[in-house]
Structure 1
Amino acid sequence: MTAFALGLVLFSALLHASWNAMLKAVDDRAGVLGAVSLAHALAGVVLIALSPIPDRASWPSIFISTVVHYGYYLLLFRAYRHGDLSQVYPISRGLAPAFVALSAWLIIGETMSPLGWLGLAAISAGICLLAMLRGAAQAPGSTIALALLLGVCIGTYSVADGIGIRQAGTATGYMGWLFLCEAPVPLVIALHRRRNRGHFAPRTLILGLLGGVAAVTAYGLVLYVKTIAPLGAVSALRESSVIIAAMIGVLVFGERPWRGRMLAAVVVALGVIAVSQAG
């Protein structure tokens, strides 16, 4: 992977971790997620207006990614309601890179060098180590199953988008339609959850829109890099955002224990180095 592609994905991971950390810091998570989805819709409209229509070959991928995103958001909201997601959510992020790499190999014959596979394994292992440190081993079976389903969703829409954006003929056009199509479900869910709590506070709306800009930029960068780099490597590097979020938790929120999180970060960092050197 080139240094340019590596830098874009790691910057995307930083943006993703930052807006998730912001989500953790507020009380009205449903309101913030609703504003984030609104930002997705607005970004979609702008990109559609400025871009040509994606090639017909890419529309099945847009449809698959949109439907899977709907399932992902529904699972995510259910997990927030039960309050157990913080224990095992890293499992879903750790599962996704391996799922994407194997799917890309089976579907489009895309593979990596042995060093790249080793780096991907290290990144997934580091993320799963973080999950164990946060109590995944003691979590109820239903919660672990939910995390695994989330991982499958992440892997599925990542592969669909990686294939679709290469077929679209216009990266920004593909992004625009994807952002617009996936926005309604989280917005509807957030509005439903806010029904009994009154109007959105201005601070919630502002934070949500800022988070939405970060989320749109983060995934847009990842979609672009998927046109120039192997899908498995991109997915693995993107999920390093989980470790970045854990470091934010240690440094900003004072979360403990910190030694195990640092170990997980080192394992992931070694994996990132291996993927970057794999070519």
Structure 2
Amino acid sequence: MISYTGGLVLLAAVLHATWNAMLHGNRDRFLSMTWMSIAIAVVATLAVLFMPWPADAAWPYIVASGLLHIAYNVSLVRSYRRSDLAQAYPIARGSSPLLVTLGAALFAHEAIGLLHVLGIVMISGGIIALALQGGNVSRASALAALTTGATIALYTVTDGIGVRLSNGQALTYTAWIFLFYWLMPVLFVAMRGLTALWAPLRDGPLAVGSSLAGGLVSIAAYGIVIWAMQTGAMGAVSALRETSVVFAVLIGRIFLREAVTARRWLACVIVAAGAVCLGL
């Protein structure tokens, strides 16, 4: 039976797949990610005004995580430029539980049991199947997605340790991390100019609205994960969240009209099953 915490993490998985689909569904993903980040940063700015100051011990992790999240955003956009959602998302999200479990063992002294080893093997096998099936995923696409997976693992382990040093202030910790999302519009304007950022408000308000909504969904999705990592094993929480690969493929098939072969479905199920093994 899935616990209350496990149920919330599964909800986070659905939310995470949803906002990734929103991002992938927009033609200009860099622009979309920037508007998502603006929504996240605005909410975070308002939130910190009414929250206590973070614990001193948590600050190095807040700064590191905030910067890692920006690196993740850029890497995710790059990955989605090279692959469709049903390819890039499973590889990126499927590789992260393996890396998180290893990172948690090294830096937080979390044990790796036999069931975890089985989960790692299943996830790795599923990723290989996704990357090699019929030559549909190029080496560059697989590398971009795996790089995204590495950034996911880095910020997850960082946050898993940081939130445990926050004296139970998971919401405060999360809000301060999300303040760093103001760096995304700064990066966008530096690369494309201010006009490119504001023009879509006139030319494509629906796309901007979708991006803003995606940002709000993203806050809820990752906020749940940080809250769960206060007491739950990082590898287990990350793994359960990564069952979102199945939701992402389903969303890609139904709403984005992406072709999903039987072999890809099987590979995604294997990745998800391995993630569940890591979460047990």
Aligned residue among 209, 213, 221 for 1:210: 213
Q: Is the 8 A contact 1:247 1:261 kept in 2?
A: no
Aligned counterparts, 1:166-185, within 5 A: 166-169=164-167, 170-181=169-180, 183-185=181-183
- Cα deviation, 1:27-47, whole Å, max 9, x if unaligned, reads 243332222101111221233
SS of the aligned residue for 1:254 comes to: coil
**Partner residue in 1 for 2:277:** 274
- Cα deviation, 1:137-180, whole Å, max 9, x if unaligned, reads x514x544433332222111110001001101111110110001
For normalisation by structure 1, the TM-score amounts to: 0.85
Is 2:43 the partner of 1:43? Answer: yes
Q: Is the 8 A contact 1:30 1:193 kept in 2?
A: no
C-alpha root-mean-square deviation of aligned residues, in Å?
A: 2.6
**Partner residue in 2 for 1:236:** 239
Q: Is the 8 A contact 2:100 2:154 kept in 1?
A: yes
User: For residues 61 and 260 of structure 1, what CA distance do their matches in structure 2 show?
Assistant: 40
User: For residues 207 and 256 of structure 2, what CA distance do their matches in structure 1 show?
Assistant: 20
Runs of 5+ consecutive residues of structure 2 not aligned to the other structure: none
**Partner residue in 1 for 2:93:** 93
User: For residues 223 and 73 of structure 1, what CA distance do their matches in structure 2 show?
Assistant: 18
**Partner residue in 2 for 1:146:** 144
Flag the 1:157–1:273 CA change in 2: closer, same or farther, 3 A.
Answer: closer
Flag the 1:95–1:32 CA change in 2: closer, same or farther, 3 A.
Answer: same
- Structure 1 position 112, deviation (Å): 4.1
**Partner residue in 1 for 2:75:** 75
Flag the 1:128–1:19 CA change in 2: closer, same or farther, 3 A.
Answer: farther
- Cα deviation, 1:34-74, whole Å, max 9, x if unaligned, reads 22101111221233123211111111111111222232233
Runs of 5+ consecutive residues of structure 1 not aligned to the other structure: none
Task: Judge which range, 156-165 or 232-241, deviates more.
Answer: 232-241
Q: Is the 8 A contact 1:175 1:220 kept in 2?
A: yes
Flag the 1:254–1:150 CA change in 2: closer, same or farther, 3 A.
Answer: closer
Structure 1 counterpart of 2:130, which letter? L
User: For residues 179 and 217 of structure 1, what CA distance do their matches in structure 2 show?
Assistant: 12
Is 2:122 the partner of 1:122? Answer: yes
Q: Is the 8 A contact 2:10 2:240 kept in 1?
A: yes
- Structure 1 position 97, deviation (Å): 1.1
**Partner residue in 1 for 2:9:** 9
**Partner residue in 1 for 2:21:** 21
Question: Aligned residue pairs: how many?
Answer: 272
Structure 2 counterpart of 1:204, which letter? A
Identity of aligned residues (%): 37
User: For residues 113 and 162 of structure 2, what CA distance do their matches in structure 1 show?
Assistant: 24
